[in-house]
Structure 1
């Protein structure tokens, strides 16, 4: 492959990137997770740094143009953007996100020797950077494809990045076998055996306390109606009706923004009080998603609008707490650089934005249990979920994936929730507007789920978990240190060889 003309290699790299999304849900062709990075590894062989940059960009563009195409639904159908402009915007996102692979490929060929032991660690650093640079867009990590496929045993030890590292390393090691470098069979066998062995360990265990009976309410409110003022009452009626048969269970959970208005608005306040009283009368706790207007510092003479949050609230019998979303969606929940961009887009100054919640928020509490909360795509951030999950019995996430229609986005999102359960050794309670609502056990397995785009109620009896996985304690630090060490050794070896 190193002798292919650059144009041909570029096309091959583009195809390799296009293939990787097929490894994830809903396609689940997980073997492609090994093949796709290995193809890029081979294509970069003996390339100049400049050529590697182009090949990396081609790979990243293909990956994001296909893997992130679910954005088209929200941009075109719900963002009222024409199809050509929406496609151009998707292409722009793919070009920008492709820079991660482009810069990584350039760095690889400029500073590191060609080896799976340098390529795989660099891949992990690139994935990790995607979780925080420019607020982060942590999607399409290779390790997600291996949830429930053996090698996810590394997840509770060192997180999804460790799974990605092992998958990429094994894939590149198989590529080396094509060059008759048979010694790479040894690390392949060891990595697979260790992954399977780790899956036999249960890092957490159920508490002795009784199981928690939970009902998830999936209202299936159409996205084009959800925020219409005239549809508010209908929305509240749907959730109240679906919950009638569920009061009496320990916990009733409504999805993100199930109450589509601030808590103090005339329609909302009496409704919330009514549901709270019903929950108290039936000895049920109630958790719901709601936009929360913080009036704590407001006075009659205040001239500054109070901050508002995308929030989860706990009420009812032994239900309490308020969680404010920490990671907001750029241009969806807030406008980045709004003040800076006013001179270009003056309308931005008139656009209200959610406020990000503070770090270190206390968990919700229901029936004597601590529920670590996450809203929507916050679960895509491994370290954020890990930090929120400290000292928790369960994890709960509320979402509204109706924005992405029938695309792969909602099912990719669900796959990430599975990985967070595996990493933390906790059951995840996932309530969504249009699906998939689900109960996911401490091993990342979907125990029960709803169909998409159906009004549904999902019931389950869940055990509270106790104990701590290594990932809960150490986070991403071990795999990042190992990756940095391998790259430093590679850099030293290359410099010494060049002398």
Structure 2
């Protein structure tokens, strides 16, 4: 009993240790160790049920560590009791853990003969099918019930396997990483060969310029107001908030100026007209375009949108399409509505702006705007980026201030820059405000929680990467073939006398 409990705790700890492999620490090899522990646990499971449970335990540790920052938004700023906030984080992690658990259970069901497999197998099942099922479950997690692709394993490879992102995206990179992990477990020489081969091919692919410059370089300015979440919606700080953002605009030197998500704590229609005119005049005096986040009321009562507008033309806007469950809308109110009796979350009932929207025009530069965690969804973002030459993310990470969420979010933005071969501009309230080039490199950034303006030169880009053309269909087809082959083989085996 004690031994079983110890192995369970160790497996959960291996899942939790993965958090150090992502930003900001970026200890990428730790993810290989974490995945290896999961694969061995599944391989040694005598039944599909035990594999499901083991993979769920690993997933509980993995997701509790990687989304722990939700506690801050619920407790520190949402006003939920600490015990309830912690319980919600654990429940959410328990739900997310069902996806690797599903992969583990299915893997054992598909295992030839159902016999127990040794820890270092040489079978195709272990080397290909198990990694493929894991990534298929990860893709499902990023889609089902609006999806939550945060902490997809490919994200921590934006430096090491950068060359693959423009071809097969984050799930394809994650699949290569999972395959390499399995090879190390088969035999260290196979693992070494696979790892060296991946690094070499990635380096070669990174030399290919899938997109090309268009037009002249553009000077951009990104303001970070560093207003604490506890102050943002407090009426006592409203005038100070307006003033702080106006000063940032006045200090900006670029021809494209960005301010974060819902940076003005009021509806556009309720914001003093004199203030809007002040921002417009300041931008005009610099011959600059100013893009900033606003909450905008719709035509119907109770309808409002989380939007980005060009202040010179407030009627031209991007309205957030992929809303955050519980944060921006209430899924299944009859089931989850009780939570809002304990939460203080202004503007938690947004309306989606629709999946297909044209880029925002900043002068003659089309900008693919995305808000909050929309840049976690690579297949969605690449559709709205095909007609744009720059990407810009507008976020308010103050909800998770003091955690690693901002750095993790910045890492996902780097993956999107790689996939689309375009510069990514990140405008956030408290950080990470940054400029990321098409190679996924952070070329400029402001320290978190510091008020200031980030100045940089960026180059608009045009053209389509292979990933922009195919999206996740390419890796989806590969996974289908890998898993389908195993299913067919298992069915044939079951019919043999």
Shorter-chain TM-score above 0.5: yes
Residues matched between the structures, number: 479
After TM superposition, give the deviation of residue 390 of structure 1 in Å: 1.2
Counterparts of 2:363 and 2:186 in 1: how far apart (Å)?
55
Residue 438 (str. 1) matches residue 443 (str. 2): no
* 1:327-338 superposed matches below 5 A: 327-338=322-333
Q: Which residue of 1 aligns with 2:169?
A: 159
Change (3 A) 1:417 1:493: same
Counterparts of 1:92 and 1:190 in 2: how far apart (Å)?
40
Counterparts of 1:232 and 1:96 in 2: how far apart (Å)?
38
After TM superposition, give the deviation of residue 414 of structure 1 in Å: 0.6
After TM superposition, give the deviation of residue 393 of structure 1 in Å: 0.5
Aligned 8 A contact 2:366 2:390 in 1: yes
5+ long unaligned stretches in structure 2: 113-124
Counterparts of 1:390 and 1:351 in 2: how far apart (Å)?
31
After TM superposition, give the deviation of residue 220 of structure 1 in Å: 0.4
5+ long unaligned stretches in structure 1: 296-303
What SS is found at the alignment partner of 1:444? coil
After TM superposition, give the deviation of residue 91 of structure 1 in Å: 1.3
Residue 323 (str. 1) matches residue 318 (str. 2): yes
Aligned 8 A contact 1:9 1:55 in 2: no
Counterparts of 1:344 and 1:193 in 2: how far apart (Å)?
50
After TM superposition, give the deviation of residue 86 of structure 1 in Å: 1.7
Counterparts of 1:421 and 1:50 in 2: how far apart (Å)?
40
Residues 343-372 of structure 1 show CA distances to partners (whole Å, capped at 9, x for unaligned) of 998999x99611011111011001201000
Counterparts of 1:205 and 1:447 in 2: how far apart (Å)?
19
Aligned 8 A contact 2:368 2:390 in 1: yes
Q: Which residue of 1 aligns with 2:205?
A: 198
Aligned 8 A contact 2:184 2:190 in 1: no
* 1:180-199 superposed matches below 5 A: 187-199=194-206
Q: Which residue of 2 aligns with 1:174?
A: 184
Alignment counterpart, residue 380 of structure 1, candidates 371, 376, 400: 376
Q: Which residue of 2 aligns with 1:139?
A: 150
Aligned 8 A contact 1:17 1:60 in 2: yes
What SS is found at the alignment partner of 1:69? coil
Residue 411 (str. 1) matches residue 407 (str. 2): yes
What SS is found at the alignment partner of 1:321? strand
Change (3 A) 1:342 1:380: closer
Aligned 8 A contact 2:80 2:342 in 1: no
What SS is found at the alignment partner of 1:159? helix
Change (3 A) 1:351 1:335: farther
Alignment counterpart, residue 455 of structure 1, candidates 434, 451, 458: 451
The alignment's TM-score, normalised by the length of structure 1, stands at 0.91
Q: Which residue of 1 aligns with 2:122?
A: none
The alignment's TM-score, normalised by the length of structure 2, stands at 0.91
Counterparts of 2:73 and 2:298 in 1: how far apart (Å)?
28
Aligned 8 A contact 1:10 1:54 in 2: no
After TM superposition, give the deviation of residue 6 of structure 1 in Å: 5.0
Q: CA RMSD in A?
A: 2.3
Counterparts of 1:340 and 1:486 in 2: how far apart (Å)?
38
Q: Which residue of 1 aligns with 2:104?
A: 105
Change (3 A) 1:189 1:496: farther
After TM superposition, give the deviation of residue 10 of structure 1 in Å: 2.7
After TM superposition, give the deviation of residue 243 of structure 1 in Å: 1.8
Counterparts of 1:285 and 1:183 in 2: how far apart (Å)?
54
Residue 282 (str. 1) matches residue 286 (str. 2): yes
Aligned 8 A contact 2:163 2:203 in 1: yes
Counterparts of 1:140 and 1:491 in 2: how far apart (Å)?
28
Residue 256 (str. 1) matches residue 261 (str. 2): yes
